């Protein structure tokens, strides 16, 4: 695929294109085989050209944020993994615009510095803005859809802007899960408050997050299927805390986390995940749905 390599290097620069890049280096699970091509894109115009080229060449691609909610195949990805590296954050009164490649944590801190409240709950979430919008990330009873008012995206080779009503937000869901497009930025509406008060609330969230496992993981594995159904608690009551396959283990600290104890493979994690689904369904009749996005072929 020398033609493809030439396209990638011409558009993004030779220094921004890697071949056979191990995905384990780019996911918080620390697992995953090589991506055929791994491309860092630092400009939106380059991204538009790149997507057009990949569509023309009929090449599969995957947009990767911080890799915090991704399980990459041991076999890697036979296509192009794209890492967005544009990270502008701007303010206009109570509105904040953030590029898709900006870290959500950076946006949280920017909002605090400018006396804007509404994102404190996102303190410590390892996500980019694009990844957060894609899955409508959330925590402690809040979600990104609470503050997102518009999103810029690339679809069918064109830059478009969608309003909140067009984004089909739901619990860990957005329209991007059904209608593929590439998020390039989001507009948030926040509320004015004193930076010191915002900082205090952020510190409270930090303390709550100290209860989460520190080993490599993808955060919560399963979505909450309904109000009052606490997945971690159910798994713990079934005695599955500590259940292990290879290097993958159900964290006894929080049973909705599968952690990499040091040598886990994608296959190990999947076997633990499927076992949890089977056991919970047998006990409750509920088939748990994953929050995790799969990269490459998994079985």
What pLDDT, in 10s, does the model give residues 209-247?
Answer: 888 898 999 999 999 998 889 999 999 999 999 999 999
The answer on 99 and 70 residing in a single domain is: no
pLDDT at 180: 87
Structural domain boundaries, residue 31: 2-84
The answer on 226 and 149 residing in a single domain is: no
The answer on 48 and 145 residing in a single domain is: no
pLDDT at 275: 98
Boundary of a domain, candidates 209, 242, 272: 209
Measured in whole angstroms, the distance separating CA 103 from the mean position of its chain's CA atoms is 11
Please count the structural domains in the chain: 3
The answer on 183 and 106 residing in a single domain is: yes
The answer on 181 and 98 residing in a single domain is: yes
How many C-beta neighbours within 10 Å does residue 47 have? 25
The answer on 249 and 262 residing in a single domain is: yes
Torsion-angle region of 89 (φ positive above 0: left; ψ -120 to 50: alpha; else: beta): beta
The answer on 119 and 199 residing in a single domain is: yes
Which 8-state DSSP code applies to residue 194?
A: -
Give the model confidence (pLDDT) of 142-191 as tens digits: 999 999 999 999 999 999 999 999 999 999 999 999 998 999 999 999 99
The answer on 262 and 221 residing in a single domain is: yes
Please choose, from the candidates 86, 24, 50, 16, the residue with its C-alpha nearest in 3D space to the C-alpha of residue 218: 24
109 contact partners, CB below 8 Å, separation of at least 6: none
The answer on 195 and 95 residing in a single domain is: yes
pLDDT at 146: 97
Q: What is the Rg, in whole angstroms, of the alpha carbon atoms belonging to the chain?
A: 20
Boundary of a domain, candidates 31, 49, 84: 84
Please choose, from the candidates 243, 250, 269, 206, the residue with its C-alpha nearest in 3D space to the C-alpha of residue 30: 269
**1 falls in which pLDDT band (50, 70, 90)?**
low
Say if residues 39 and 5 touch (Cβ distance below 8 Å): no
How many C-beta neighbours within 10 Å does residue 11 have? 22
CATH of the domain at 18: 3.30.43.10
Detail the DSSP E strand segments found in the chain.
17-22, 34-41, 61-64, 70-72, 77-84, 89-92, 95-99, 116-117, 138-139, 142-143, 148-155, 158-163, 182-189, 191-192, 217-220, 244-245, 248-250, 257-260, 293-295
pLDDT at 50: 96
The answer on 51 and 115 residing in a single domain is: no
The answer on 259 and 166 residing in a single domain is: no
pLDDT at 292: 93
Boundary of a domain, candidates 209, 230, 253: 209
CA distance 218 to 29: 6
Give the model confidence (pLDDT) of 41-64 as tens digits: 999 999 999 999 999 999 999 999
Q: Which residues are catalytic?
A: 172, 220, 291
Give the model confidence (pLDDT) of 6-49 as tens digits: 999 999 999 999 999 999 999 999 999 999 999 999 999 999 99
CA distance 32 to 267: 10
The answer on 184 and 95 residing in a single domain is: yes
């Amino acid at each position: 695929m020398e033609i493809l390599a030439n396209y990638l290097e011409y558009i993004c620069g030779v220094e921004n294109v890697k071949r056979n890049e191990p995905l384990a280096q780019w996911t918080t699970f620390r697992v995953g085989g090589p991506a055929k091509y791994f491309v860092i894109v630092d400009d939106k115009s380059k991204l538009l050209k790149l997507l057009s080229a990949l569509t023309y060449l009929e090449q599969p691609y995957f947009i990767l944020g911080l890799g915090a909610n991704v399980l990459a195949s041991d076999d890697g990805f036979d296509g192009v993994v794209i890492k967005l590296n544009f990270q502008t954050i701007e303010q206009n009164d109570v509105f904040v615009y953030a590029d898709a490649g900006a870290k959500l944590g950076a946006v949280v801190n920017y909002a605090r510095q400018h006396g804007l409240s509404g994102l404190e709950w996102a303190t410590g979430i390892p996500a980019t803005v694009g990844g957060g919008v894609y899955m409508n990330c959330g925590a402690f009873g809040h979600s990104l859809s609470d503050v997102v008012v518009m999103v810029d995206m690339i679809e069918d080779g064109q830059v478009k802007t969608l309003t909140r009503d067009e984004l089909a937000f739901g619990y860990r869901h957005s329209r991007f899960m059904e209608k593929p497009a590439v998020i390039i930025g989001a507009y948030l509406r926040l509320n004015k408050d004193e930076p010191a008060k915002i900082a205090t609330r952020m510190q409270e969230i930090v303390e709550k997050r100290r209860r989460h496992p520190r080993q490599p993981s993808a955060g919560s594995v399963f979505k909450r299927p309904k109000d009052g159904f606490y997945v971690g608690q159910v798994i713990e009551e079934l005695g599955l805390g500590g259940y292990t396959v290879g290097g993958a283990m159900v964290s006894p600290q929080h049973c909705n986390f599968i952690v990499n104890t040091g040598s886990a493979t994608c296959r190990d994690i999947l076997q633990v995940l499927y076992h949890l689904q089977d056991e919970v369904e047998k006990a409750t009749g509920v088939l748990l749905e994953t929050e995790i996005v799969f990269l490459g072929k998994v079985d």
